[in-house]
Amino acid sequence: MKFTWFNLMPWPFLPDDFRQRHRSVWVDIPNTLYDPRRGHFVYHQYMDQLEYADRLGFDGIGVNEHHQNGYGLMPSPNLIAAGLARRTSRAAIAVIGNSIALYNPPIRVAEEFAMLDVISGGRLLAGFPVGTSMDTNYCYGQIPALTRDKYAEAHELIMRAWTEDEVFAFDGKYNQLRYVNCWPKPIQKPHPPIYIPGGGSIETWDFCLDHDYNYSYLSFGGYLRGRALLQGYWDRVAARGKDESPYRAAFAQIIAVADTDADAEKLYAEHILYFFNRCLHVYPGFADAPGYRTVKTIQSGALSQLTEDMQRVFTKLTWKDLVEGGYIIAGSPETVRQRMEEMIRGLRIGHVFCLFHNGNMPDEKTRHSTRLFAERVMPHLRDLWPEWKGDDRWWCKPMEERLRPEASLGGGTPS
Amino acid sequence: MNFRWIETARGAKVRVFEGGRGTPLLFLHGAGGLLAENPFLEQLAQRYHVLSPELPGYGESTGETLLEDMLDFALHGWDVAEALQLEKPHVVGHSMGGMIAAEMACLAPRDLGKLVLAAPLGLWIPAAPVPDLFALLPHEAAQVLFHEPARGTALLTGGLDFRNLEALRDFYIGNVKRLGMAGKILFPIPNRRLAKRLYRLRAETLLVVGRSDRLVPAAYVTRWQELIPRAQLAWLDAAGHMLPYEEPEAFVGAVSHFLG
């Protein structure tokens, strides 16, 4: 099993009446709610936490891309990843990822990811999301019905730029480049492992299987709701005749560990409810621009989308609902270990993107939960897939003799 | 109205509603497509040979992937006219259809009779932004589109019972297909630089707009008049953006008076 410590980087100072006063945490969230001077401390605290996770032995540390979003302060995850690449030397740097349809030209992603791979000594996991409709269509103005076509073209360009040794001309529909010549190129050959975050479209499953990319299901619905979706993916894997290595799939999960179950609620409930109640307050008109999802995908799941008003569901959730409904995995180390095992086996996943920092959780509590997990949970979950031991097709392959610059930066060992 | 199928030279299969005799009149629908009832088409067909094609992705027409940008949409309009063997048709476009009609008239200024732009989209005034059609919730749409929103909701849904989940799903998928296509020329801002081509217009032009149009407000009427100085203007009082549906008699009256 591989565990990646992930921080969405939420803005922790949304007002108590945020829901009542504002229609959305995303796209048109009032800019005045952001305070850059406080932001200075927020960024450093979040980056410190990622470095702390590296020192505790997490396999990866992860960042992602969102725009105009009150729970995701990384319009450019590559900037954060660059900082992490200098301050760590062990963990994989998981950038999940760059929304490649948004870069003009997308060769920029090939270049920046190559830079990250080189600086980190070959530790990059490269994510290529289509991007949510909020980010891609409403914030970045991409035409919904053409987004996937543009994505496919960007993917082709980037992979060719990484793998071809000759300068070539690229005559795309969205990008025309006379001289494609990726300088530098990544350390990992033929390219860093590719992660495709998806929301359950059949097209995305097939895309992952066509290229043997990792499929990452990222939602905040938790593992009970994730099960049906991942089952669809595994059915597709079987139908396509691919091997069933659990490392083909990753899942994101909110986790909170305390000394006892009761302590977990006492310590973390306030902050996790901040996340569900304020951070997920998204105006439904921004959720799904017409044309963004294919008709085929909608037909396979339209009714659940229509009948489930997630907004209302989230506002009514209590700590008990979150735990019992499997939205979060929280409690004592033993409780968390049991639930994690159930999740990992139930979903058949080899990678977990672990969300320990949630909403407005203070640094101290985040580290407490992270450390308990690293010391008292993670070691017991390492070998859940003995028959696939050593399957590192979706993991980074760093160079052995790489520099370890953090030693001179005073990174130290965990206290 | 009857309908028939044509295939354009590009390969789109298009359903065309047709009725009446006389001078050909090509009607181009808006972003929402034709509704369940289109009484103004019947009324126009009492005086003209009305042909109302549905764009790919609308109704039963297919070939969505063939049309990607504004030039594709405008050429598709002429491809349809060609497939129908129309000689200098009057071109009447509503909303997004007005935008397409104006582009067609700029591309081939001598190939049409007269031009009617009903509450046309296609321009952008920074100080008076068009509301974002693509972020409207279903219950908000009628507020923006109709003089009388309550009546508008019934017109938009065609009296469907949304407690029937099958009907709801079909409506939702239809809406996604229609607006997915419309987004190719309207998203995120309904401006594909038509303004710089309007100097090419030769056809006599009528602008017809509803007084309570909240999608394309009065500032746009002024702008259209600046760009097409010879255009005539007709205001319909008790109508919003969906003027052909809200005031069919007045709409047909204004159009017929202009076309003669």
Contact B180 A299 (CB under 8 A): no
Residue pairs spanning A and B at CB distance below 8 A: 70
Question: Which residues of A have a CB under 8 Å from any CB of B?
Answer: 137-138, 141, 143-146, 283-286, 289-293, 295, 298-299, 302-303, 306-307
**pLDDT in the model for residue A409:** 67
Contacts of A283 in chain B (CB under 8 A): 135
Chain A contact for B179 (CB, 8 A cutoff): yes
Interface test with A, best of B171, B176, B184, B191 (most A CBs within 10 A): B176
What tens digit of pLDDT does each residue of A200-223 get?
778 889 999 999 999 999 888 888
Contact B183 A303 (CB under 8 A): no
Give me the residue from B165, B172, B180 closest to A144, CB to CB. B180
Q: Which fold has domain A2-409?
A: TIM Barrel (3.20.20)
Q: Give every residue of chain B whose pLDDT is below 70, as ranges.
A: none
Give me the residue from A145, A290, A303 closest to B175, CB to CB. A290
Q: Across chain A, what does the average pLDDT equal?
A: 93
Under CATH, which architecture does the B2-259 domain have? 3-Layer(aba) Sandwich (3.40)
**pLDDT in the model for residue B167:** 81
**pLDDT in the model for residue A225:** 84
**pLDDT in the model for residue B253:** 98
Contacts of B171 in chain A (CB under 8 A): none
The yes-or-no verdict on residue A159 having pLDDT over 90 is yes
Contact B176 A303 (CB under 8 A): no
List the structure tokens of A268.
């973390």
Contacts of A291 in chain B (CB under 8 A): 176, 179-181, 183-184, 187
**pLDDT in the model for residue A132:** 92
Q: Which residues, in sequence order, are bridge partners of residue A171?
A: A176
The yes-or-no verdict on residue A78 having pLDDT over 90 is yes
User: What angle in degrees, to the nearest 10, is found between the helix axes of A295-307 and A202-211?
Assistant: 130
The number of beta carbons lying within 10 Å of the beta carbon of residue A396 is 23
Q: Look up the pTM and report it.
A: 0.94
**pLDDT in the model for residue A410:** 60
Contact B64 A145 (CB under 8 A): yes
The yes-or-no verdict on residue A242 having pLDDT over 70 is yes
- Quote the Cα angle for B138-B141-B143, to 5°: 125
What tens digit of pLDDT does each residue of A304-344 get?
444 444 545 666 789 999 999 999 999 999 999 999 999 99
Query: What ipTM does the predicted assembly reach?
Result: 0.94
The single-letter DSSP state of residue A59 is S
Chain A contact for B193 (CB, 8 A cutoff): no
Domain boundaries of chain B, sorted by first residue: 2-259
Give the separation between CA A399 and CA B206, rounded to whole angstroms. 71
CA distance A155 to chain B (A): 20
Domain boundaries of chain A, sorted by first residue: 2-409
